[in-house]
């Protein structure tokens, strides 16, 4: 086994252990939380190592990079998730290629994803990225816009709204993120009541704070650095 294989397999085992422990501590069932290994800016060969070791779900953030990896690993039955910011003009490359798009944050993007999904004859699972914290529009839909946006997505027949996603600000102490996670869960419950729908998934929690996110109800944690190490280059 190469050093990289050893490192990745050890790292993911540790994260899986901690996910299970946090899930149990929160009094939740082991299968309630899915681990997405966030492989952005890491080599396709890293994904393949984890796949061979039994892991299936991966998160990617950059369209071109993600599609190139999908092509390279096309023989593998990978559960791909798109988690990064997505420009609406790139919706057509993404629809139908990922188990879920976690970062839907504008009507324009939703409409274009729906259009492409319709033309492919598929239903695309999506999350609404909610801006629970940061300034500007890069980081999700504002809370005030959420009800109208949920309603809009419900009307798009080739999108299936699975839940909400958020990226809270970074805190040195993960406890700082807790109120943002709790808030996202509350918003999801509010939307369920308001529209009489089910939003079963909450995509929240990263390397620094996934344990806290699980305690606050996360069903999908997106962990990169703790599995793959520092990302090369930026981000
Ligand atoms: C990069 C990224 C992650 C993973 O972050 P880590 O801190 O490396 O675990 C999670 N979610 C999103 C949306 C990301 O872009």
Whether residue 233 is contained in a domain is answered as no
For residue 117, what are the domain limits? 3-228
DSSP code for 169:
P
| Mean pLDDT over each residue of the chain, to the nearest integer | 96
Identify which of 15, 61, 102, 168 to mutate to test ligand 1's pocket (most ligand atoms within 8 A of the CB).
Answer: 61
Whether residue 89 is contained in a domain is answered as yes
What band does 232 get if pLDDT is binned at 50, 70 and 90? confident
Are the CB atoms for 101 and 125 separated by under 8 Å?
A: yes
Please state the atom number of ligand 1 nearest to the C-alpha of residue 207: 9
Please state the atom number of ligand 1 nearest to the C-alpha of residue 235: 1
Identify which of 42, 59, 98, 204 to mutate to test ligand 1's pocket (most ligand atoms within 8 A of the CB).
Answer: 59
Alpha carbon nearest to ligand 1 atom 11, residue: 222
Exposure string over 18-36, b if 16+ CB within 10 A, otherwise e: bbeebbeeeebeeeebbbb
Averaged pLDDT, 220-227: 98
Identify which of 165, 205, 224 to mutate to test ligand 1's pocket (most ligand atoms within 8 A of the CB).
Answer: 224
The backbone torsions φ and ψ at residue 172, rounded to the nearest 5 degrees and listed phi first, read: -60, -40
H/E stretch holding 94: helix 91-94
Say if residue 73's pLDDT is above 90.
Answer: yes
Can you give the pLDDT at residue 234? Answer: 55
What band does 161 get if pLDDT is binned at 50, 70 and 90? very high
Can you give the pLDDT at residue 233? Answer: 73
The string of pLDDT tens digits covering residues 106-121 is: 999 999 999 999 999 9
Whether residue 49 is contained in a domain is answered as yes
Whether residue 144 is contained in a domain is answered as yes
| CATH number of residue 218's parent domain | 3.20.20.10
State the total domains in the chain.
1
Alpha carbon distances (Å) from 1 to 4, 46, 111, 129, 167: 8, 13, 47, 39, 35
Q: How far is the CA of 195 from the centre of ligand 1 (A)?
A: 30
Percent of the chain with pLDDT over 70: 97
Alpha carbon nearest to ligand 1 atom 7, residue: 207
Whether residue 25 is contained in a domain is answered as yes
Whether residue 234 is contained in a domain is answered as no
Whether residue 235 is contained in a domain is answered as no
Q: How far is the CA of 82 from the centre of ligand 1 (A)?
A: 11
Please give all residues whose beta carbon lies within 6 A of any atom in ligand 1, as ranges: 38, 40, 61, 83-84, 167, 206-208, 222-225
């Amino acid at each position: 086994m190469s050093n990289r294989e050893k490192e990745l397999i050890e790292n993911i085992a540790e994260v899986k252990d901690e996910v299970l422990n946090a899930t149990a501590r929160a009094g939740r069932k082991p299968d309630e939380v899915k681990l997405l290994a966030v492989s952005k800016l890491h080599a396709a060969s890293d994904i393949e190592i984890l796949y061979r070791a039994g892991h299936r779900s991966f998160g990617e953030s950059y369209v071109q990079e993600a599609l190139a990896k999908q092509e390279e690993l096309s023989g593998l039955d990978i559960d791909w998730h798109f988690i990064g910011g997505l420009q609406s003009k790139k919706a057509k490359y993404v629809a139908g290629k990922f188990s879920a798009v976690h970062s839907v944050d504008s009507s324009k993007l939703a409409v274009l994803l729906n259009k492409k999904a319709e033309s492919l004859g598929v239903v695309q699972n999506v999350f609404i990225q909610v801006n629970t914290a940061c300034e500007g529009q890069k980081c999700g839909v504002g809370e005030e816009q959420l009800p109208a946006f949920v309603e809009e997505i419900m009307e798009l027949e080739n999108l299936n709204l699975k839940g909400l996603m958020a990226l809270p600000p970074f805190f040195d102490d993960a406890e700082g993120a807790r109120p943002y996670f709790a808030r996202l869960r509350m918003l999801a419950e509010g939307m369920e009541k308001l529209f009489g729908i089910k939003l079963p998934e909450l995509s929240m929690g990263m390397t620094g704070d996934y344990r806290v996110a699980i305690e606050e109800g996360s069903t999908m944690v997106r962990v990169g650095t703790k599995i793959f190490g520092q990302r090369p280059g930026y981000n």
